[in-house]
Each structure stands twice: as structure tokens, then as C-alpha cells.
């Protein structure tokens, strides 16, 4: 029943993908990144209902003023910053726990190859983190979520197809491994 379990994550992603267009961007993103004051106030009213949100808006304006001169760091600069070590450790624990999810076992590979697949999964996670952290400010979370979920859905369809054909064509098992790596990268970039 692993294929039902694997498809469940695709179903949840599809539901989120269908409802995502009806939600506004986050107010801090609209104000701090895009500089859209009217869009920020509109998003606040849409998310939180009618009311007076001038104190929250003023807080975000103060945050914008404080961060105006702040330099945006790249990935290497963040890794050298001691104040983010607790968050990095948490992220590493999450990445290591993904190793135990069993996604690699779905490819039906020889036991001698599985350690290399586990290494490939870790490298895929690292690639997705570096890639996502470098493009999230440029594109915003919504586009990354849409793209990530669409890619994940496509990859899951291709993965299911390659798994169904893996008994007829042995090389399809290696396609399954590549698709697993791509799924992890799409997951890391999007959701």
C-alpha cells in the first residue's frame, strides 16, 4: 500500500495548489519586499477581516525603516553567521529526518546501491536549499509554492509510471531514482 501513501502527499499538494490562487500574498512581503502599501492593507483586510490595522502597518513600516540599510546576505555569509546556528541545526535535523521517510525504498534497487541513493537524496536536499534561498526574494513564496507543487505533481506521475514499468525495463529503476532526487529538489524549492 506504499503507492497509496505516496499518492496521499500528491493529493494534499493538489488541494493546496487549487486553493492557493484565492489567498493574497503575505502583508509583510507586499510591504517590505514589493513596497506595495495599498496591497499590504488590502491583504490585511482580506486575511484578518475588516478592522483597523494601522498599528500593525506602522510596525511593518518601522521594520522597513530599520531594515532599509541592512545588507541582504548570501548563503555563505549566512553560514558564517553564529546567530543563525540554532536555525541551521534545526534545518539539518529536518533534512536528516527526510532520509528516513522511505522514499528511496520505492525504487526497488539492489541493496548495494541504496547508500549511494541516500547520498544522492542528501545532495538533492542541499541543492534545493541553496537554490531556494537564492531565489525566494526574487520570486516570492507564492510562485515557488505553485512551481514546487506543479513539479511535484508531475514528478509523482512520472515516478508512478516508471515504477510500473520497472519490472519490464531494468533501467527504469534508475529513472525512478532520478525522479526521487527531482521530487526532493521540487519539495525543497516549493513547500
* Together in a domain, 105 and 45: no
Q: How far apart are CA 138 and CA 185, in angstroms?
A: 18
- Boundary residue ending a domain (72, 92, 126): 72
Q: Output the pTM of the full model.
A: 0.49
* Together in a domain, 62 and 155: no
Q: How far apart are CA 96 and CA 116, in angstroms?
A: 15
Residue 57 — very low, low, confident or very high, per pLDDT cuts 50/70/90? confident
- Boundary residue ending a domain (27, 55, 72): 72
- Boundary residue ending a domain (72, 87, 122): 72
- Per-residue pLDDT tens digits for 25-45: 888 888 877 788 888 888 888
* Together in a domain, 110 and 184: yes
Q: What angle do CA 84, 85, 86 make, to 5 degrees?
A: 95
pLDDT, residue 107, reads: 55
Helix axes 54-67, 37-48, angle to 10 degrees: 140
Domain count, the chain: 2
* Together in a domain, 99 and 54: no
* Together in a domain, 99 and 156: yes
Give me 27's grid cell: 502583508
* Together in a domain, 17 and 68: yes
Q: What average pLDDT is seen over the chain? A: 78
The parent domain of residue 8 ranges over 1-72
Q: How far apart are CA 23 and CA 42, in angstroms?
A: 12
* Together in a domain, 16 and 89: no
* Together in a domain, 137 and 156: yes
Amino acid at each position: 500500500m506504499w503507492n497509496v501513501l505516496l499518492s496521499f502527499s500528491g493529493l494534499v499538494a493538489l488541494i493546496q495548489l487549487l486553493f492557493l490562487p484565492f489567498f493574497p500574498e503575505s502583508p509583510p512581503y507586499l510591504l517590505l519586499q514589493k513596497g506595495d502599501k495599498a496591497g499590504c492593507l488590502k491583504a490585511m483586510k482580506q486575511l484578518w477581516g475588516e478592522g483597523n490595522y494601522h498599528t500593525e502597518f506602522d510596525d511593518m513600516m518601522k521594520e522597513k525603516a530599520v531594515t532599509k540599510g541592512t545588507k541582504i546576505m548570501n548563503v555563505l555569509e549566512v553560514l558564517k553567521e553564529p546567530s543563525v546556528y540554532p536555525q541551521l541545526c534545526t534545518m539539518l535535523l529536518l533534512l536528516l529526518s527526510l532520509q528516513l521517510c522511505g522514499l528511496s525504498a520505492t525504487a526497488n534497487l539492489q541493496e548495494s546501491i541504496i547508500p549511494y541513493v541516500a547520498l544522492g537524496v542528501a545532495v538533492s536536499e542541499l541543492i534545493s536549499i541553496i537554490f531556494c534561498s537564492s531565489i525566494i526574494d526574487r520570486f516570492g513564496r507564492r510562485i515557488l509554492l505553485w512551481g514546487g507543487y506543479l513539479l511535484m505533481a508531475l514528478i509523482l506521475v512520472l515516478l508512478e509510471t516508471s515504477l510500473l514499468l520497472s519490472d519490464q525495463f531494468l533501467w527504469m529503476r534508475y529513472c525512478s531514482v532520478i525522479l526521487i532526487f527531482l521530487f526532493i529538489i521540487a519539495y525543497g524549492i516549493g513547500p
